[in-house]
Structure 1
Amino acid sequence: MFTRRTLIAGAAGLALAATAATGAAAFPNDTITLVVPYSPGATDTLARTLAPELERILGQTVLVETRPGAGGTVGANFVAKSSEADGHTLLFGVSSVQTVAPHQQDLPYGFADLVPVARITAGPNMMAARTDAPFGTLEELVAYAKANPGIVTFGSAGTGGATHLAGEAFARAADVELNHIPFQGVTPAVAATVGGTIDLVLGFASALMPQVAGGNLVAIAQFGDARASVVPDVTTLQEGGVDLSMPPNIGVWAPAGTPAEAIATLESAFEEAAASEAFQQHARNSLTEVAFLGADAFAEELTREDAFYADLLAALGMAK
């Protein structure tokens, strides 16, 4: 007579036999670690909001581990070179660690050492002006900058970083000359613009829009290829006649060599997690644009982005 214990044991035996037949355990079969290559902050919070949803979907514990240093390259290198390529250790960060940093300096890893799993969000990145600037729209900014080469100042989170490169890319696309002022982070750059010390500041909508809403800054443009739903009233650069689109892509990567089956499982899990109400609500509250792309589409986006930055950095004399 079969008992419940006998049935469970039999099922377990069948599972083990299936595993033995295929030569590998079903994925995932261990804890998933999301490595965030920055100090705790906005990106870290995105990952931690996704983690419970991923645990529900994948049936495994999901840990978020911060490994900051060298603009994100310490954590990126850890995933690319120091992790087993089995899908259990992943990078969760901004695409610049793959498409920008390897062009700027000699690193232990390169573009091909990280394979995309999914894009989760795409900024939005924005540009805002002091309230008493001699321009209040993108068109007025371009006209003023053309008439006054090198007079307009813009602040960034530091030389060679994403906001600096966005400003330089804008200047090149608009055919104007801007004066870059680096700061130790976006917050002091925002403060300097609010105080009238500089003309423009670039950064995520989450850093700029509260000041815009408070009447302390004027929104000039966003850098996406379409208006972001979280800042629908802010025009894109292309709408203002500047042929440039460079949304900051935040996504997930695995070490090169990770099995395609694991990538497919992770891609599906992240898509479901990103669509969850918990994550969508967090994104709305933090002015983050959810813009999911699967592995193949994200790979195409990253290839274009890599070529764009290779050209931009060479033009700026900032390539290694």
Structure 2
Amino acid sequence: MRRRSFTLAAAGAALPFAWREALAADVFPARPIQVIVPYAAGGADSYIRPLQPALEKKHGVKLVIESVVGAGGTVGSAKVKRAAPDGYTLLFCGSGALTIAPRLQAGTPVPADFVPLLNLVTIPYLIATKKGSPIRDLRSLVDFIKSRPGALSYGSPGFGSAPHLGMEALARALGSSVTHIPFSGVATAMQSLLGGHVDALIGAPSTVMPQVEAGTVNAVVVVSKERFPLAPDVPSLAEAGIDLDVSTHFAFYAPKGTPASVAAKLALVLGDAATDPGFRQALEATRTRVDVLPADVLARVLAEESARFGPLVATVKS
């Protein structure tokens, strides 16, 4: 899929009347906007907290961020699904909460329950091993998995997470298998890796790269078709001839039924705030890349991700 980046000009051209209507009305937003993040505080909410100063300074928009934890993001997403479609309650979540979770838990929210606004951040995943491990680079990882089915134990942020499915997809692509050890998050998986309790982990660059720089782990590969710009020395799977790309898109959504004029204004203001240099610098300092995509591209990303993970989820269900 060819993705395009969000631009204010493009978005404005797509919905010129709705945008002018929202501005002319000058009634939205008349109060702070609640953003539900369906994960524990200190995780995905850290992607949007640095956005708040630019939003308030440039547009007078205030966000109230609330963490609503439970069931892989589905408790929080369900709360937003039930909210009034007036633009004052938004969801900010990883794509897996809408593409993977519904395949594991019947009746949970799906993309059709929301109006996509824009994607803010895209997280690729790195596979890492402890310093001193015989698995120290991409070639030794591939050889180990292929020659010793089931022998490699790895930690992930949890069963059914995108990192979990990405590692399982890699093993299947190599005609082999691996042993999954789920954790409550990548931070706890990293502790287990450093303690020698698992052979590898798969997680976000923001967790892996500080340990690489400290000299305690090896960043073996990024599970994508291209190298990650904020960790350019780490090879991609494509360099081993493996066609696999796993990442999570963290995006804003409004409840289904939100007026087009309100959705248009939200997308434009959020997208404009994301161009703020201070915001981008804050995220890049943690190895997190801003990747703003408009609503139509985000919708296609969700559809493709759901189709890609669907068959795999069916094989790993417990």
| TM bracket, shorter-chain basis | 0.7 to 0.9
Q: Alpha-carbon deviation of 1:280? A: 0.7
- Superposed CA deviations along residues 43-80 of structure 1, whole A, max 9, x for unmatched, are 11222111222223432322112212222111111111
Cα distance change of structure 1 residues 42 and 282 upon mapping to structure 2, 3 Å threshold: farther
Aligned to 1:36: 37
The offset of 1:225, in angstroms, is: 3.9
| Deviation by residue 1:93-113 (Cα, 9 ceiling, x = unmatched) | 211111111111123533310
2:221 is matched with: 221
> How many Å separate the matches in 1 of 2:60 and 2:42?
26
The 10-residue stretch of structure 1 (181-190 or 212-221) with the greater mean CA deviation from structure 2: 181-190
Instruction: Give the whole-Å Cα distance in 2 for the aligned partners of 1:153 and 1:185.
Output: 16
Cα deviation for residue 25 of structure 1 reads 6.1
State how 1:267-282 maps to structure 2 within 5 Å: 267-282=267-282
2:127 equivalent to 1:127: yes
Partner of 1:77 in structure 2? 78
User: Secondary structure of the equivalent of 1:166?
Assistant: helix
Q: For the residues of structure 2 that align with 1:196 and 1:145, how far apart are their CA atoms? A: 18
Structure 2 vs 1, CA of residues 76 and 280 (structure 1 numbering), >3 Å: closer, same or farther?
same
- Give, in whole Å, the separation in 1 of the partners of 2:61 and 2:208: 37
Per mean C-alpha deviation after superposition, the further-off stretch among 50-59 and 87-96 is 50-59
CA distances 1:84-130 after superposition (whole Å, capped 9, x unpaired): 11222111121111111111112353331022111111113211012
Say whether the 8 Å CA contact 2:223–2:244 is kept in structure 1.
yes
* TM-score (norm: length of structure 2): 0.87
**Scaled by the length of structure 1, what TM-score is found?**
0.86
Q: Could you tell me which residue of structure 1 aligns to residue 94 of structure 2?
A: 94
1:50 aligns with 51
Deviation at 1:278, TM superposition (A): 1.7
Q: How does 1:106-125 map to 2 (within 5 A)?
A: 106-125=106-125
Runs of 4+ displaced beyond 6 Å: none
SS of the residue 1:249 aligns to: strand
Over aligned residue pairs, what C-alpha RMSD do you find? 2.1
Q: 1: CA distance between counterparts of 2:174 and 2:58?
A: 45
Q: Do structure 1's residue 298 and structure 2's residue 298 form an aligned pair?
A: yes
Supply the AA of the counterpart residue of 1:180: H
Which residue identity lines up with residue 84 of structure 1 in the other structure? A
Runs of 5+ consecutive residues of structure 1 not aligned to the other structure = 1-18
Contact 1:28 1:58 in 2 (8 A): no
Partner of 2:243: 243
| SS of equivalent residue, structure 1 residue 283 | helix
CA distance in structure 2 between the partners assigned to 1:317 and 1:188 by the alignment: 23
What secondary structure does 1:250 align onto?
A: strand
Asked if 2 retains the 8 angstrom alpha-carbon contact of 1:51 and 1:64, the reply is no
Please tell me the residue identity of whatever aligns with 1:154.
Y
Conserved in 1, the CA contact under 8 Å of 2:101 and 2:108? no
Cα distance in 2 for partners of 1:264, 1:239 equals 40
* Map of 1:13 onto structure 2: none
Matching residue's letter, 2:153: T
Q: Which moved more, 1:226-235 or 1:91-100?
A: 226-235
1:164 matches 2:168? no
Stretches of structure 2 that go unaligned for 5 or more consecutive residues are 1-20
1:6 aligned residue: none
Distance 1:116 1:174, change over 3 A: farther
Quote the offset at 1:27 in angstroms: 3.2
CA distance in 2, matches of 1:234, 1:27: 45
Measured at CA, do residues 95 and 129 of structure 1 come closer, stay the same or move farther in structure 2, by a change above 3 Å?
same
In structure 1, what is the equivalent of residue 139 of structure 2? 139
Structure 2 counterpart SS, 1:306: helix
Q: SS where residue 239 of structure 1 aligns? A: helix
Between the aligned partners of 1:301 and 1:37, the Cα distance in structure 2 is 20
Partner of 1:66: 67
Task: Say if 1:79 and 1:90, in contact at 8 Å, map to a contact too.
Answer: yes
| 1:193 to 2:193 alignment | yes
Give me the whole-angstrom Cα distance separating, in 2, the residues matched to 1:258 and 1:118. 14
Q: Judge conservation of contact 1:38–1:68 (CA < 8 Å) in 2.
A: yes
Residues 189 and 201 in structure 2, CA contact (< 8 A), matched pair in contact too:
yes
Partner of 2:4 in structure 1? none
- Which letter maps to 1:303? A
| Secondary structure of 1:254 counterpart | strand
Determine the C-alpha separation between the residues in 1 that align with 2:124 and 2:256. 28
| Matched residue type, 1:184 | S
8 Å Cα contact 1:84/1:255 also seen in 2: yes
Query: 1:313 corresponds to which letter in structure 2?
Result: V
**What amino acid is the match of 1:43?**
A
Q: What amino acid maps onto 1:114 in structure 2?
A: F
Give the SS at the match of 1:229.
coil
Aligned 8 A contact 2:127 2:221 in 1: yes
What is the match of residue 263 of structure 1? 263
